[in-house]
Structure 1
Amino acid sequence: MAQALLTSPANPRLKAIAALRRRRVRDQQGVTMVDGIDELELALAAGVRPKTLVLCPDLIQDADRERALVERAPEATVLRTSRSAFEKVAYREGPDGVLAVVPAIARTLQDLILPVDPLLLVAEGIEKPGNLGAMLRTADAAGVDAVVAADPVTDWGNPNVVRSSKGTVFSVPVATDTTEATLQWLQEGGVRLLAATPDSDLSHTEIDLTGPVAIAVGTEKEGLTDRLMDAAEHRVRIPMHGQVNSLNVATSAAILLYEAERQRNSA
């Protein structure tokens, strides 16, 4: 017997999922949402076990992929909805008909298992989920061993972080802690810290980025805190030849991480 479609966004189960847009609700329930088939497939490959799958037959273009998702999440409750109901619940515009509720991403610094010469990214005080997600995509591509959010304004489970990271928030090791705890953790692990700032005469290409190293970036408006800047072994800048004196933080992180990748790959 075919499963009945949920057609009203006022359905209690769908309302509960839509409420996960709010951080307070996510924190209370210890879950977040993954909106999109590509993102969910990456999360499943990383070992995430969905609690609920919400599927819209009218939006899903590949029945085989839908069937495979259900088979890979045998413990999940499966809900099928009408198009109008799904579009009300989905986080993003133009959804593809696949949404899941998954356990929250709640790793601490002590949960991270690092190689002997890790490449780390420390993102301090980042406010915009899209920037945090974009940095995760770069971290995944550049082979970064972990990304640490120090004193963040947003959380790893923000649906826009999940979306803008294309699901790499589940595959790249991440952690959250205070700036002070992060600095202590880096020191105890023997990891050199480099701070990105326009107020330096030292180019990012002039520094050895091999071995255990953490690259720290801050917000475009405020930059890194004095505490983190003082703790850095070197302060480096990205050359700027135009009228503005800073790049988008995700762009800055990409430039710095790929310089590190170039040096480490050459070495």
Structure 2
Amino acid sequence: MKEITSIQNSFIKQLTQLKDKSRERRKTGLFLIEGVRETTLALKGGYEIETLLFYSGLISEKQISDLITSQTNLIEVSKEVYEKLAYRDTTEGLLAIVKNKTHAINDLKFNTKTPLILVAEAPEKPGNIGAILRTADAANADAVIIANPKTDLYNPNIIRSSVGCLFTNQIASGSTTEIIKFLKAKSINIYCAALQASVAYHTQDFIKSTAIIVGTEATGLSHEWLKNSNQNIIIPMQGEIDSMNVSVAAGILIFEAKRQRNFL
């Protein structure tokens, strides 16, 4: 088994770039995961782990044996090296180098005739994306689709804030035009969370094939979505503001659909 003790090691420098730079993740087709739970969920989600790095002061070889496949490389690193690569303050001594997925819209597969899909247009904040993924996992949504993405899905902040739900959801991304075309081809009703020409969300029938579309708090949804909406929906509010955090809104809407489907 290989051991690396210096942060000046060329491989460690490459991994630092992989952690910090979206460009490096796109170029290599790889990303870093930190933590046992997240790595376990990635394996369950069908991700291929290329290399596991561990610091024996926090985790033992025996603890990571369940995460090793015949194609996984195992590298022991020093405390200094681990702290250089670790993203979180409190960690478990495990890092994984993982191959990314394409997340093509046409690769989505549904196991039900009436899928429930959550679409987020142009989300920018990794924390919001992570929260949306956690919500989708909690509701067991059939898919999450990111329209016109502003950040790559393997940003460490997304992985961290999603607590591994990046790997438990079926996820796709694409342009708004591509996604609308896909939804219409599948006869999936489009419900846009918007202020214009909207009705209260709980008055709508989400039992049929449903895509709930949410936009950013700052700009809302683009005209293209509103033009192709089956019905715009709104969450009635009683305070002074007319919007709420996108992940909160997504949670309210997706769980209303689940309530109607009697899956709670």
Task: State the TM-score, normalizing by the size of structure 2.
Answer: 0.93
**RMSD of the alignment, in Å?**
1.8
| Distance in structure 1 (CA, Å) of the matches to 2:154 and 2:236 | 34
Aligned match of 1:41: 40
Aligned match of 1:52: 51
Provide Cα deviations, 1:228-259, integer angstroms capped at 9, x if missing partner: 01111111111222222211111111111111
Aligned match of 2:255: 258
Aligned match of 2:230: 233
Provide Cα deviations, 1:177-220, integer angstroms capped at 9, x if missing partner: 10011111111110000001244551111111111010000111
1:120 partner letter: I
One of 17, 20, 24 as aligned partner of 1:19: 17
The 5 A counterparts of 1:103-114 are 103-114=99-110
1:68 partner letter: D
Aligned match of 1:246: 243
User: What residue ranges of structure 1 are gaps of 5+ in the alignment?
Assistant: none
Structure 1 residue 92, shift from structure 2 partner: 2.4
Taking only the aligned residue pairs, the percentage that are identical comes to 36
| Distance in structure 1 (CA, Å) of the matches to 2:263 and 2:30 | 41
Name the SS of the counterpart of 2:261 in structure 1.
helix
Q: How many residues align?
A: 262
Q: Which moved more, 1:168-177 or 1:208-217?
A: 168-177
CA contact (8 A) 2:5 2:81 kept: yes
The 5 A counterparts of 1:2-17 are 3=1, 5-17=3-15
The 5 A counterparts of 1:77-116 are 77-114=73-110, 115-116=112-113
CA contact (8 A) 1:18 1:90 kept: no
One of 147, 151, 156 as aligned partner of 1:150: 147
Structure 1 residue 30, shift from structure 2 partner: 0.7
Name the SS of the counterpart of 1:16 in structure 2.
helix
Aligned match of 2:63: 65
| Distance in structure 2 (CA, Å) of the matches to 1:126 and 1:27 | 19
Provide Cα deviations, 1:5-64, integer angstroms capped at 9, x if missing partner: 42222211111111112111000001111111110011112222201111111122x664
| Distance in structure 2 (CA, Å) of the matches to 1:242 and 1:88 | 46
2:49 partner letter: P
CA contact (8 A) 1:87 1:95 kept: no
CA contact (8 A) 1:55 1:81 kept: yes
2:168 partner letter: S
| Distance in structure 2 (CA, Å) of the matches to 1:53 and 1:8 | 17
Q: Which moved more, 1:144-153 or 1:196-205?
A: 196-205
The 5 A counterparts of 1:150-189 are 150-189=147-186
One of 118, 123, 128 as aligned partner of 1:121: 118
CA contact (8 A) 2:130 2:160 kept: yes
Provide Cα deviations, 1:157-182, integer angstroms capped at 9, x if missing partner: 22222222222222211111100111
User: What residue ranges of structure 2 are gaps of 5+ in the alignment?
Assistant: none
Name the SS of the counterpart of 1:221 in structure 2.
coil
CA contact (8 A) 1:6 1:81 kept: yes
Structure 1 residue 154, shift from structure 2 partner: 1.1
| Distance in structure 1 (CA, Å) of the matches to 2:141 and 2:148 | 20
| Distance in structure 2 (CA, Å) of the matches to 1:256 and 1:198 | 14
Provide Cα deviations, 1:122-157, integer angstroms capped at 9, x if missing partner: 110010112111111111110110111110101222
Name the SS of the counterpart of 2:4 in structure 1.
coil
Aligned match of 1:212: 209
Provide Cα deviations, 1:93-133, integer angstroms capped at 9, x if missing partner: 32221111111121211101123110001110010112111
| Distance in structure 1 (CA, Å) of the matches to 2:238 and 2:64 | 49
2:126 partner letter: P
| Distance in structure 2 (CA, Å) of the matches to 1:198 and 1:99 | 44
Q: Which moved more, 1:17-26 or 1:237-246?
A: 237-246
